[in-house]
Chains A and B, each alone.
Chain A
Amino acid sequence: MSDVDPASGSRDEPGAPPVSGQAPAVPAGQPHAPIPSVAHGDVIDHEIENPVFITEELSVSYGSALAVEDVSLSVPEKEITAFIGPSGCGKSTILRCFNRMNDLIPAAHVEGMVRYHGVDLYGSDVDSVQVRKRIGMVFQKPNPFPKSIFDNIAFGPKVLGMKGSMDEIVEQALRRASLWDDVKDRLKDNAFGMSGGQQQRLCIARALATNPDVLLMDEPCSALDPISTGRIEDLMHELKETVSIVIVTHNMQQAARVSDRTAFFIVDMGSSEEARIGRLVEYGPTDRIFTNPHDTRTEEYVSGKFG
């Protein structure tokens, strides 16, 4: 976490210096004017032919605090979709709705709709375990199991009861993650002996071993050096032939490099630090978001004025 609270950094400047005497009522982090609600249609691009996911007015709250509000977007098939925005804008939270990872947080409450190939993921007859079998996830910090490289890959196929030779399944997964040549001679070694970049590619291979339809990546390179990051980005380009990818990233350049479509989220500062609500501001083809953003906040963010 290199950047602490990038959202508040530059945006509070217009508000300062505060009017004397009245300052305490308005925290420094509050924007000068409330963010107008986004008019859907002009900045949210809905024209996607084969959506994997469609969210409709998706809101997530933790306890009584609303974390992210009213997100409506469609994620295309076999493309890379990037979610960008400052810390706390809810991009990870939305990502975690796609495989129902938010279920693990007892206080999390999801409203609105997430459709996966037309199926309501939060429908009463949907089993979250079945969802996660189809939708893989890679996390911010590499989280290999404290086991051999082989066992790390084999775990998913085993719990899913996949048929076929486990050796072949493991080899194929490692090849897809272009890790096979690095590790083929030490499959029995503990995964903790690998470098951070290799561990993250192992986690990608692990997710691929169950042949998911979608790969969700939650800031997969934030703990990695530039060379490892580059290898993972190359890998993503190869993988999008076969899987749809949604990546959350802090790094705008990364979004520009790898993604086909980009969604820009923002933190709507409420009256206090606790009342920060994430919102989707703009969503469309990456080229357009970076070269011709329609919303001024997107423009400020992608041009590096804040964040």
Chain B
Amino acid sequence: MTTAEAGERPVSEVLGVPPAAHKARDRGFVLVLALLTSIALLVLAVLLIDTAIDGVPQLSLSFLTSFPSAFPAKAGIESAITGTLWLMGVVTFVIVPLGVASALYLEEFADGTRLWNRIIEVNIQNLAAVPSIVYGILGLAYIVRGPLSLGRTVLAGGLTLALVVLPVVIITSREALRAVPPSIKEGALALGATRWQAIWRQILPSSIPGIATGVILSISRAIGETAPLILVGAATFVAFNPTGLDSPFTALPLQIFSWISQPNDEFRMLAAAAIIVLLVLLVILNAVAITLRNRYQQRW
């Protein structure tokens, strides 16, 4: 309090008095936001803790390296893990070329003012919001049976999951391509590069971190999907690892689904343990995606 000193005037005299209501409103707003956030976090925490209490005691090396069994003590998730890894492989193999090519076409070549291209754009946005079970029906009708008739195989499951996430991959890849400033393309073209050289050697490489992030997040969504796999008829009791694309398979979410529907409590504990494994897998994938984004994404 030095207001009395020579020449110095009180703050309120120079700047005016702030209305008390403003401060109270600010504080109230922050409080509401914090409360809403904590509700979401609380629900998540309860789920995680509950799962951990049930599942952690079941986790062991033998759980990871055993096949399903009618006896809970002997049952494990090896075939579910390998099935999930196979699915990841198929999904990646399909969505990267298809997703990037579609995104390149829509961003760089398609004339956005044409009706046809606008229809494609709107449809891709819509497809991203279609429930995954619808893709399951599609997979059952056209991939498992129908024109492709692949049967209940790894390939059929992977293709169906790829369809589920393809719209998201296209959308995120387009965003990554759009994030490259037009000046880069102009710079390349001004040097006498063809359109293709400019895209292939400058725009695409610059957008790879963004595309990779989108692809990884899409894969992590795909391996958590259950409904489409149930519809395409993946088995829930598979006592062997997939041997190829034409092999029957199961996957982690299916194994979890099947154990949870068992009346026996011990199987539910196993399901909790499998959930933990799936969560760890998802956290790893998301961590890789975030690391990629933070380390390699170009700041223009």
Contacts and interface: CB of A to CB of B under 8 A. Distances in A.
Q: Say whether A associates with B.
A: yes
Interface of A: 99, 101, 104, 106, 129-130, 132-134, 136-137, 139, 141, 143-146, 155-156, 159-160, 203, 206-207, 210
B186 A143 contact: yes
A299 B68 CA distance: 91
Contacts of B188: 145, 155, 159
Contact of A206 (B185, B186, B191): B191
A145 B181 CA distance: 10
Contacts of A143: 181, 183-184, 186-187
B183 A210 contact: no
Contacts of B7: none
Contacts of B191: 132-133, 136, 155-156, 159-160, 206-207, 210
A129 B188 CA distance: 11
Q: Is the interface of B mostly helix, strand, loop or mixed?
A: helix
11 contacts: A101-B190, A129-B192, A129-B193, A132-B189, A133-B191, A143-B186, A145-B202, A145-B206, A146-B184, A155-B188, A159-B191
B62 interface: no
B193 A139 contact: no
A136 B184 CA distance: 15
B206 A159 contact: no
A210 to B, nearest CB: 6
Instruction: Among A106, A133, A137, A145, find the residue whose CB has the most chain B CB atoms closer than 10 A.
Output: A145
Given A139-B186, A145-B184, A159-B197, A133 B192 contact: yes
Given A101-B186, A101-B189, A143-B187, 11 more contacts: A133-B191, A139-B186, A141-B183, A146-B206, A155-B202, A156-B192, A156-B193, A159-B191, A159-B194, A210-B191, A210-B192
B292 to A, nearest CB: 15
Contact of A203 (B111, B187, B201, B298): B187
Given A155-B202, A156-B191, A106 B111 contact: yes
Contacts of B201: 155, 159
Contact of A104 (B189, B197, B206, B298): B189
Nearest to B183: A143
A28 B170 CA distance: 48
Q: Please give me the 6 A-B residue pairs with the lowest Cβ-Cβ distance, nearest first.
A: A133-B192, A156-B191, A143-B183, A137-B190, A143-B187, A159-B193
Contact of B187 (A99, A130, A134, A139): A139
Contacts of B181: 143
Contacts of A159: 188, 191-194, 197, 201
Interface string B60-73: 00000000000000
Interface of B: 111, 181, 183-194, 197, 201-202, 206, 298, 300
Contacts of A144: 187
Nearest to B112: A106
B30 to A, nearest CB: 37
B206 A129 contact: no
Contacts of A156: 191-193
A272 B201 CA distance: 43
Given A159-B201, A210-B192, A146 B187 contact: no
A134 B191 CA distance: 9
Given A143-B181, A155-B201, A155-B202, A129 B194 contact: yes
B192 to A, nearest CB: 3
A218 to B, nearest CB: 10
A106 B193 CA distance: 19
Nearest to A216: B190
Contacts of B185: 104
B192 A104 contact: no
B184 A160 contact: no
A99 B193 contact: no
A203 B184 CA distance: 11
B186 A104 contact: yes
A211 to B, nearest CB: 11
Contacts of B187: 139, 143-145, 203, 206
The interface centre, meaning the residue of B185, B187, B188, B201 with most chain A CB atoms within 10 A of its CB, is B187
B190 A136 contact: yes
B70 to A, nearest CB: 57
B194 to A, nearest CB: 5
Contact of A155 (B183, B186, B193, B194): B193
Contacts of B184: 143, 145-146
B298 A139 contact: no
A130 B190 CA distance: 10
Nearest to B298: A146
A206 B183 CA distance: 14
Contacts of A99: 190
Contacts of B206: 145-146
A207 B190 CA distance: 8
B183 A132 contact: no
